[in-house]
Structure 1
Amino acid sequence: MKLKKRKLVVILVIAAVIIAAAGIFAYNLFNRKVSSPVLNNANRNEKWTADLKFVKNELPKKHKNLFFSKSKVEFDRDMDSLINKVDKYNDMQIKWELTKIISSINDSHTSVVMQSKSAYPVSFFQFEDGIYLINSSLAYKDFWGKKLVAVNGYSIEQLHSKLDPIISKDNKAILKNQFCSLLRFPGVLKFAGIAKNDDTVFTFEGSSNTSVTVKSLNKEEFDKTKFLSDDPKYINNIPLSKQNPDKNYWFKYIEKSSTIYVKYNSCSNMKNYSFSSFTKDVFKTLDSKKAKMLVIDLRDNGGGNSKMFDSFLDEIKKRSNINKKGNLFVIIGRKTFSSAILNTMDLKNSTNALLIGEPTGGKPNHFGEVKVIHLSNTNVDIQYSSKYFKTTSKDTDSIYPDVNITLKASSYFNGKDDFLNYILDKQSIK
């Protein structure tokens, strides 16, 4: 949901809800890569055939457990079918079919890496009654708070039918987030047959539906563009939880309800403010203010280093006045993923926190520790899971909150946060 001035990253990894947390994000291979043999003298068909066979043979060996959902028979059948059609398909069609095969594995950390050298300066979110524009460049400010009904003439239902098959997913929650994220990338829309060029027509609901052609921006253009999220007037009209989107973590003391509100957006240290220093500041304020409640908001956290949170967790356990039902709350949502899932499970299992919000995009027991297969002859990357993280004996598809709350567009665009307001309202009637 962030569209602050920042680097426009040219690589989009469909599977990771890190997208959801960061909008556009840096994808780092971390040197965890194996490559297919290079064929210098082969023709186009031979190169594709060799690379696809490499995927068929190597991905089952590299992935922690590739056939946990889709059988080996099904996977081999699909790969063989694609290999046999190399001479009939163009490059885009081959990559499209490969993406669908990998997505059908149903591991949100395993996917074909999608390329997009530009992005639309708009951001969408799915509320209870539909998808709305929640941020944009100033050029499209008149559409803030408007409900999206079509893209290039395709209805939302038609868009789902085109995009859902290429989204690697563990559950329905991640699908909500990924779908909205993908609408921002012309490379993906062209790949899915939704767009023919980089400019796209977005249609919004109204007394008479209004359409606008949105031009995509490359990295340099993106960095120079002013967004609504740069405008103080806009910031004052959005919920507290959506402020400071470029900070990995921040907190605020809410005096009226004697609450420390902690927004934890990424399990990564900030450049000039370490998480350990942040932790000290949070609990110093909590103690000096004699705060009655602590709220930890993980709804937009797509992961990072889960161990970073250990010291914060220890500080909670030291305080019996906070570590009890009705005083400690954790907010979760569709963007809560990967290491943030591990942090959520730690809070769930070792404290008395009440979970508020909506089901998480990540599973409590999930694959992760991403590595990459690079197809040298066709320049395609496939990310895959090399580890499995087990946090509970119950193998559910999501972490479900103790109190499930539906997000309403009418609340958001009036500066209200349905999740946080539930907690603060509960405190006010004690």
Structure 2
Amino acid sequence: MKITKAFFPLLLIVSFSILIYCFPEPFGGLFRLGLAGLALGVIGGFWMTGAFLWKKKLFSKIVASLLFLFSGLILVLTILITIDYRSLIPITPIAPLSASEWNEDLNYLKETIGTHPSYLPEINTELEKAFSVFEANLTNTSRDEKLLQLTSMVGLLEDGHSFIFPFQAFNQSAYLPLYGYYFGDGYFVLDAFSKYDDLIGKRIIEIEGIGIEKLFEEISESTGPENIWNAKYRFNFFINNVNLLSSLGILDQEKKEVKVTYLENEHPVSILIKPEPFFTWGFWTLKPTDIRTPAFTQMRRSNFKLHANEFIEVELNLIEDIDSDNTIKSLSHTIDTLLSSSNPKGLIIDLRNTLGGNNTLYEPLIDVITRHPEINQETRLFVLTSRTTFSAAINFLDDLIYNTNCTVVGEPPGAGANHSGDAEFHILPNSGIYYMMSTKKWTGNNPSDSLKTIYPEVMINYLSTHYKNGIDPWMNAINTL
């Protein structure tokens, strides 16, 4: 393999990586060109290396085969992300299932719902009613409508860990190319496909003539969130799902564009938006971020970070070790050292973006706090929460409240101290619809607590003006205490 030939794929990779970095929007032509060029460079490099190894011994041939396989996977992923793959797949109705096949799926779903740790007899009564309605309308409901009905069945559990994924038949799934957040003063667009840049920073008030507040109510009622804060966290994933809007009767499934109305200088303005494939929307909206305030609900790039300034701030984004050298335990040792060698204004445990993790790992953090009575005071120890705070973060929050003198500042989190979790993945045998179902009941320090959330001592109303002006109301609240 000549050096000049090997250099060409490397040149492609470097050049198009720079293009992607400069134009990171996946709906833009330059981004797609960059991604296609990058994929071409990687595939070319793999194929050249594979062809070279294929001439060698058996082990080299195995490595070459793997490189060829990875090349094919990269090609498929590139196609899915860079073009509207729905144009390659005929949009034909999925073969209808027979009544007996749907009955088998319903029985499977009922069986898994019955294993839920918080399953109650009254849920069974509602479930039987929902099954009867589903069976009575088998022939006159679309696949999206059936999916919504099944989603509502699982939603009867009102468990944020148990849900049917809103995106199922990928070759027909479509999303509005918008990313928004439900602030205290309304639902605002934070990012959009460049064609709709004018919407960024605008408050959306209607979709197809239906008010956002009404849509929020209908979506919440149909999807069964844990509480209103969990519903607000999930809202962006549902409100842009064109299939879901269609199943709610808000728009025609075959409609090519969706009318979105926003406020411009307090006056309503309407615009038609073309939906995009889910893969493109997901690639764009679910990519990790480093933003600390919870306006963007995707995962953060690092499990945890430590900021030592006036306050010692523990930004805990996922309760998991990063690697063998960067663990929650080693983080605790570092905090212990800082508390022993300095006199910070306070210690902040930031759980605003903590979606969960391993609830067996955080005990060393609590131990450090209890060993430092000078910091274990309500005026010096603060825990930040938001609607995104969920799962293992709820366990941690409850234990912090019970074992320390912390002051909780923020929005109520997405679940209460006593909640279900440890969800498992399931697939209905005939329709292929996939969903999550909790398997364990987590009991907090007060087993009789029936609240569906944990209310902070200091409540934060996160507004769009805070986000636009770079204001962190959580930190402002701490500085005034």
Give the TM bin, normalised by the shorter chain.
0.7 to 0.9
> Within the alignment, does 1:66 sit opposite 2:85 as a pair?
no
Larger Rg: 2
Confirm or deny: 8 A CA contact 1:304 1:338 kept in the other structure.
Answer: yes
Alignment deviations for residues 118-164 of structure 1 (CA, whole Å, 9 cap, x no partner): 65553222222211123445554443322111223332133224422
- The aligned residue for residue 202 of structure 1 is 260
CA displacement at 1:198 relative to structure 2:
7.1
TM score, norm. by length of structure 1: 0.77
Q: Cα 1:198–1:344, aligned 2, differ >3 Å: closer, same or farther?
A: farther
Task: Give the letter for the 1:173 counterpart.
Answer: W
- The aligned residue for residue 309 of structure 1 is 362
> Within the alignment, does 1:94 sit opposite 2:146 as a pair?
yes
In structure 2, the residue corresponding to 1:329 is in which secondary structure?
A: strand
Confirm or deny: 8 A CA contact 1:239 1:416 kept in the other structure.
Answer: no
Confirm or deny: 8 A CA contact 1:124 1:181 kept in the other structure.
Answer: no
TM score, norm. by length of structure 2: 0.69
Deviates more, 1:399-408 or 1:179-188: 179-188
How far apart, CA to CA, are the structure 2 residues paired with 1:330 and 1:400? 12
- The aligned residue for residue 26 of structure 1 is none
Unmatched 5+ residue regions in structure 1?
9-41
Alignment deviations for residues 337-383 of structure 1 (CA, whole Å, 9 cap, x no partner): 11110000010000110111121111110011112342111111232
Task: Give the letter for the 1:165 counterpart.
Answer: E
- The aligned residue for residue 206 of structure 2 is 150
Confirm or deny: 8 A CA contact 2:177 2:281 kept in the other structure.
Answer: no
Q: 2:476 aligns with which of 409, 421, 427?
A: 421
* Structure in which a larger fraction of residues adopt helix: 2
| Superposition pairs of residues 40-79 of structure 1, within 5 angstroms | 44-56=98-110, 58-67=111-120, 70-79=122-131
How far apart, CA to CA, are the structure 2 residues paired with 1:226 and 1:105? 26
- The aligned residue for residue 131 of structure 1 is 187
- The aligned residue for residue 81 of structure 1 is 133
Task: Give the letter for the 1:84 counterpart.
Answer: A
| Superposition pairs of residues 315-354 of structure 1, within 5 angstroms | 315-354=368-407
In structure 1, the residue corresponding to 2:436 is in which secondary structure?
A: strand
Q: Cα 1:7–1:388, aligned 2, differ >3 Å: closer, same or farther?
A: farther
Task: Give the letter for the 1:418 counterpart.
Answer: P
In structure 2, the residue corresponding to 1:300 is in which secondary structure?
A: coil
In structure 1, the residue corresponding to 2:141 is in which secondary structure?
A: coil
CA displacement at 1:292 relative to structure 2:
2.4
Confirm or deny: 8 A CA contact 1:52 1:83 kept in the other structure.
Answer: no
Deviates more, 1:166-175 or 1:263-272: 263-272
CA displacement at 1:191 relative to structure 2:
4.0
Confirm or deny: 8 A CA contact 1:5 1:226 kept in the other structure.
Answer: no
Task: Give the letter for the 1:171 counterpart.
Answer: N
Task: Give the letter for the 2:160 counterpart.
Answer: S
Q: Percent of pairs identical after alignment?
A: 24
Q: 1:397 aligns with which of 452, 455, 462?
A: 452
Deviates more, 1:321-330 or 1:217-226: 217-226
Q: Cα 1:224–1:388, aligned 2, differ >3 Å: closer, same or farther?
A: closer
Deviates more, 1:153-162 or 1:169-178: 153-162
Deviates more, 1:47-56 or 1:277-286: 277-286
Runs of 4+ in 1 over 6 A off after TM superposition: 4-8, 224-227, 240-244
Alignment deviations for residues 252-283 of structure 1 (CA, whole Å, 9 cap, x no partner): 223xxx21122212223335843334333444
RMSD: 3.4
Q: 1:165 aligns with which of 221, 227, 230?
A: 221
How far apart, CA to CA, are the structure 2 residues paired with 1:192 and 1:346? 40
Q: Cα 1:73–1:356, aligned 2, differ >3 Å: closer, same or farther?
A: same
Q: Cα 1:355–1:52, aligned 2, differ >3 Å: closer, same or farther?
A: same
Deviates more, 1:331-340 or 1:215-224: 215-224
> Within the alignment, does 1:216 sit opposite 2:273 as a pair?
no
Q: Cα 1:397–1:161, aligned 2, differ >3 Å: closer, same or farther?
A: closer
CA displacement at 1:415 relative to structure 2:
0.9
How far apart, CA to CA, are the structure 2 residues paired with 1:267 and 1:97? 34
Confirm or deny: 8 A CA contact 1:64 1:385 kept in the other structure.
Answer: yes
Deviates more, 1:337-346 or 1:242-251: 242-251
CA displacement at 1:205 relative to structure 2:
0.9
Deviates more, 1:182-191 or 1:403-412: 182-191
> Within the alignment, does 1:111 sit opposite 2:143 as a pair?
no
* Structure in which a larger fraction of residues adopt strand: 1
How far apart, CA to CA, are the structure 2 residues paired with 1:246 and 1:5? 16
Q: Cα 1:47–1:202, aligned 2, differ >3 Å: closer, same or farther?
A: same
Confirm or deny: 8 A CA contact 2:335 2:368 kept in the other structure.
Answer: no
- The aligned residue for residue 412 of structure 1 is 467
Deviates more, 1:347-356 or 1:275-284: 275-284
Alignment deviations for residues 193-230 of structure 1 (CA, whole Å, 9 cap, x no partner): 44535754433211333444265255468658999x79
Confirm or deny: 8 A CA contact 1:124 1:133 kept in the other structure.
Answer: yes
| Superposition pairs of residues 26-41 of structure 1, within 5 angstroms | none
